[in-house]
Structure 1
Amino acid sequence: MKLNIKDTFTKQLPADPKLENTRRQVENACFSFVTPKQTAKPELLHVSPEMFDSLGLTDTDAKSDTFLKVITGNEVYPKTKPFAMCYGGHQFGNWAGQLGDGRAINLFEVEHNNKHWAIQLKGSGETPYSRTADGLAVLRSSVREYLCSEAMFHLGVPTTRALSLALSGDQVMRDMLYDGNAAYEKGAIVSRVAPSFLRFGSFQILAARGDTETLKTLTDYTISNFFPELGKPSKETYIAFFNEVAQRTLKMIVDWQRVGFVHGVMNTDNMSILGLTIDYGPYGWLEDFNYGWTPNTTDSQHKRYRYGNQPNMGLWNLYQLANALYLLIEDVEPLQAILDGYQTGFDEQSFAMMRNKLGFEEEDENDKILIQQLEENLHLTETDMTIFFRNLSDFSEENPSEGISIIKDAFYHLNEVEGEIETKWQAWFEAYAKRLKDETASSEVRKTKMNAVNPKYVLRNYMSQLAIDDADKGDYKLIDELFNLLKKPYSEQPENEKWFVKRPEWARHKVGCSMLSCSS
């Protein structure tokens, strides 16, 4: 196995001088060198062919003993030094101080075909940032992260990627529901890939400690390696950098809203500085269209990270990053202007996104009203978001009376669609039909464009849970089936029609199929 190693993080940023792997506060440094934990009996379960190719690896590499050992932490690749990153963060709105890579270990950086990739293991042992945890991960959460990161990529949502999923051969104790009933689960390791795993919290921790020197070093490093078009370090460059982060964050969240994805734990340490979806924990896709839904049991009371609040949380998190970068910029006005622009930008991009989902190209002053009425209708009775928007492309403006029958499979309780609810839906379809008659594109063209932004297949929690249940029994075929299904989420795939259905009733309250904890 031969990789083109191009490490920058450990060569251009200050390291923690202490080498022992003990829990501690790490100051004036961006990372600590660590050694992954040796595992009992590593076993490779799945690899991403696309990511493999992106790193310059071959099929032969995937079958090699060296690859298995490296991506499970059992062997350090020659001339590399694994490390864990130091960062802080706000968790559920409260400053948590130092957090860091408590369950992740970065292996090395690779360049291939003029692209730069950082390779990281999740679940490969403790680090100085593990606090009271063991630094390990279980198969349950690892399957979810592996499948979801690749699914998001193919949906067109900015995301970290996954290279491999492996068993460690160890048993890991976890209290899945935080109810005092801890049990052993299969240990697993996901190999994650991204241009960088830097987070908002990477900058916050330095600012919180008043370490302006290291903050400047980290910011300059980030701009030089990932935003070189912004130019050399200066106040103007730092402002432009913050604006770019804000715009990328905005785009990511608009894409989340478009496909119905709920991150579940948008703490600032889980916000990528590159605008990538990062840290797949208690995430979920909307089953019924519900602004108030969160998949995170920890968030079930206050619903801070609910679907409808994700745009606001993106802005709140950006405020915290702005506070950190203020130490370098020392000027509130340009930072505030960017934050104000985020709000305006979300309103504009969200509106454009909804217009695309409805198949509109021509401008119409009444579109906002029509969209608002639709969103109100979607809350009248449980209505599956994915099925609704996908089937809506079959609607014809010539037959508005058939609207309800076209999207009826999206209703969880079809018997409720009568009386006032039926009247409101019929009125909306009449208005929608009238609006579509103003479009110049044919219904076939409109259908194609709508189906390009409204996925047919998403990784519903019950689907992941079925794969996890099989995997616990040693059967990994469903992981592969879902992995390949989700490569083409916008394609019809008639052979996979069984996955284009509402969440089964048995899954409504089943653990892992509706809400999830952060336990992994």
Structure 2
Amino acid sequence: MYLKKYFLTFVFMKLNLKNTFSKELPADPITENTRRQVPQACFSYVIPKKTAKPMLLHVASSMAQALGISEQEALSKDFLEIFSGNTILPNAKPYAMCYGGHQFGNWAGQLGDGRAINLGEIEHANKRWAVQLKGAGETPYSRTADGLAVLRSSIREYLCSEAMYYLGVPTTRALSLMLTGDKVLRDVLYNGNAAYEKGAVVTRVAPSFIRFGNFEIFSSRNDANTLKKLTDYTIKYFYPHLGEPSKEAYVAFFKEVADKSLEMVLHWQRVGFVHGVMNTDNMSILGLTIDYGPYGWLEGYDLGWTPNTTDRQNKRYRYGNQPQVVQWNLYQLANALYPLIGEADGLEEILHNFSATYDSKEQKMLASKIGVFTNKKGDAKLLHSLQELLQAIETDMTIFYRELAAFNTVAPLKGLEVVKEAFYSLEEFTEELKEKWNLWFTAYAERLEKETLPANERIEKMQKINPKYVLRNYMAQLAIDASDKGDYSILNELFIMLMKPYDEQPEFSKWYAKRPEWARNKVGCSMLSCSS
């Protein structure tokens, strides 16, 4: 929905606002908005900061409809005021969550919603959605920051949240993107050259924003009472089929979180998404992708690539290590839940089985990407050989898998011609490398002949697994640069295109291309900082 003006005034009295989190869990008794440690509380009440001159840039229509907000209502003055933080919904009591987390493998203590303020929960069509503003001002958890966000990072979060949803990746959603009319000081490269940028607010939506870190903070403080209340609340509303609180229910709860987290990262690997900052405070208890900071998609296929400048040296959160990090984070959640269970056997079994389960599902996923849907002896070798070849020369992951669908088994030696658009430099192909590729394509053709699906059905299935369009960093940066000048056409174009990432969409074919050379080392187009 591309927005230019407001058509009506509408009071959002009809929204079915719930406040289960703030009503059923312990609140911070101190109401002053000062940075501090907040013990024995799951949240602190906070009022969003008034914005100088809010301007609505974009609304995700499908998310608005899911909340019971019509297109007309989304164009209203009331929508602008409410989702910029200037007006509080009737009966709402905004709050910021308290949580901790392991950052880059080290316990960081209390973190919390430093720039996110929850408006409450909206219930519509038998679904409950938590709604929060990101960039709406400081909270008790802001530490040394200002609680604000800039247009640059807000565009990236807004576009990517919805892009991931349409890719079929479990994710939090975005409702709206606003300019605040305020200037925000940021040091993009952390090099001492801070500058003012346009302030912005993104409205984020999810069934819940509870994270691993929400449980870790209470366990770290030996606060078993609050830990139990939070866990029981989470099971009651998000895993009710597990029944009443018990040791068995807590173990089963952990098992389901592990399963959902595994499925989430499996989807990341499928589409080539790299989160960039997989700290435990950025791990959703519902297995949703959360907190879109220095993320990126693989441009050149590289298991060792990370988009995060802070992670440049150790590459903890590199693409090829994401499944292992999810498992490590689950260990921390298991440690946090242990006080409620008192024994490790059930938790350890779940953690032990994670790797084997993931490996099995990953092989099935990778096989499906090349059109292999049955399990045969030799598949693992075929897939491993492909991974090695993809890294032997700079290869665009998205284009390679998408073009591979056109491979003809009767002409395996023409395989390289089929996927040539995926390679950054054909001149770098040595005769030895060409021979290796030809051998792989020959083996691939023989393997496809063992499949029972007709070629047209195989192609159709591959195209539903391998997207044609993803939100590459250079694309997001072009939208940012244009938006900073008041031109929101690229933002809108990308949003529309990313709603159908598996379709051909010839009108958007210019976006189906490798990263341009000018973007290789440009700020925002390759690696990014956490500055937002």
Quick one: which amino acid aligns to residue 388 of structure 2?
A: E
1:187 aligns to 2:222 (yes or no): no
Quick one: which amino acid aligns to residue 129 of structure 2?
A: W
1:3 aligns to 2:19 (yes or no): no
Query: 1:274 — aligned with what?
Result: 286
Query: 2:231 — aligned with what?
Result: 219
Q: Write the mapping of 1:119-518 to structure 2, written as runs, cut at 5 A.
A: 119-518=131-530
* Cα distance in 2 for residues equivalent to 1:274 and 1:367: 32
Work out which of the residue numbers 42, 47, 57 in structure 2 matches 1:35: 47
Quick one: which amino acid aligns to residue 168 of structure 1?
A: T
Q: CA deviation at 1:381?
A: 0.5
Q: CA deviation at 1:230?
A: 0.8
Quick one: which amino acid aligns to residue 440 of structure 1?
A: T
Q: CA deviation at 1:408?
A: 0.3
Corresponding pairs, count: 520
* Cα distance in 2 for residues equivalent to 1:330 and 1:423: 58
Quick one: which amino acid aligns to residue 453 of structure 1?
A: I
Q: Write the mapping of 1:106-121 to structure 2, written as runs, cut at 5 A.
A: 106-121=118-133
* Cα distance in 1 for residues equivalent to 2:105 and 2:374: 41
Q: CA deviation at 1:7?
A: 1.6
Query: 2:63 — aligned with what?
Result: 51
Quick one: which amino acid aligns to residue 166 of structure 1?
A: M
* Cα distance in 2 for residues equivalent to 1:130 and 1:6: 26
* Cα distance in 2 for residues equivalent to 1:233 and 1:356: 40
Q: CA deviation at 1:224?
A: 0.2
* Cα distance in 1 for residues equivalent to 2:430 and 2:457: 32
Q: Could you list the runs of 5+ residues in structure 2 that have no partner in the other structure? A: 1-11
Deviations 1:114-133 (A, max 9, x none): 11100000000000000000
1:75 aligns to 2:91 (yes or no): no
Quick one: which amino acid aligns to residue 140 of structure 1?
A: R
Quick one: which amino acid aligns to residue 359 of structure 1?
A: G
Quick one: which amino acid aligns to residue 477 of structure 1?
A: S
Quick one: which amino acid aligns to residue 469 of structure 2?
A: Y
* Cα distance in 2 for residues equivalent to 1:492 and 1:251: 26
Query: 1:64 — aligned with what?
Result: 76
* Cα distance in 1 for residues equivalent to 2:155 and 2:326: 26
RMSD: 0.5
Tell me the TM-score normalized by structure 2: 0.97
Deviations 1:119-167 (A, max 9, x none): 0000000000000000000000000000000000000000000000000
* Cα distance in 2 for residues equivalent to 1:60 and 1:493: 28
Partner SS for 2:185: strand
Partner SS for 1:39: coil
Q: Are the equivalent residues in 1 in contact too, given 2:364–2:373 (CA < 8 A)?
A: no
Q: What percent identity do the matched residue pairs reach?
A: 64
Work out which of the residue numbers 2, 20, 24 in structure 2 matches 1:12: 24
Quick one: which amino acid aligns to residue 49 of structure 2?
A: K
* Cα distance in 2 for residues equivalent to 1:47 and 1:10: 27
Deviations 1:226-266 (A, max 9, x none): 00011110000000000000000000000000000000000
Quick one: which amino acid aligns to residue 300 of structure 2?
A: D
* Cα distance in 1 for residues equivalent to 2:254 and 2:421: 44
Q: Could you list the runs of 5+ residues in structure 1 that have no partner in the other structure? A: none
Q: CA deviation at 1:362?
A: 2.4
* Cα distance in 1 for residues equivalent to 2:451 and 2:355: 29
Deviations 1:456-489 (A, max 9, x none): 0000000000000000000111111000000000
Quick one: which amino acid aligns to residue 354 of structure 1?
A: L
Partner SS for 1:431: helix
Partner SS for 1:379: helix
* Cα distance in 1 for residues equivalent to 2:155 and 2:43: 27
Q: CA deviation at 1:345?
A: 1.1
Q: CA deviation at 1:396?
A: 1.1
Q: CA deviation at 1:193?
A: 0.1
Q: CA deviation at 1:363?
A: 2.1
* Cα distance in 2 for residues equivalent to 1:157 and 1:360: 21
Query: 2:4 — aligned with what?
Result: none
Q: CA deviation at 1:64?
A: 1.2
Partner SS for 2:202: strand
Deviations 1:266-303 (A, max 9, x none): 00000000000000000000001100000000000000
Quick one: which amino acid aligns to residue 217 of structure 1?
A: K
1:105 aligns to 2:117 (yes or no): yes
1:24 aligns to 2:39 (yes or no): no
Partner SS for 2:149: coil
Partner SS for 2:114: coil
* Cα distance in 2 for residues equivalent to 1:386 and 1:152: 14
Tell me the TM-score normalized by structure 1: 1.00
Quick one: which amino acid aligns to residue 46 of structure 1?
A: H
* Cα distance in 2 for residues equivalent to 1:64 and 1:459: 29
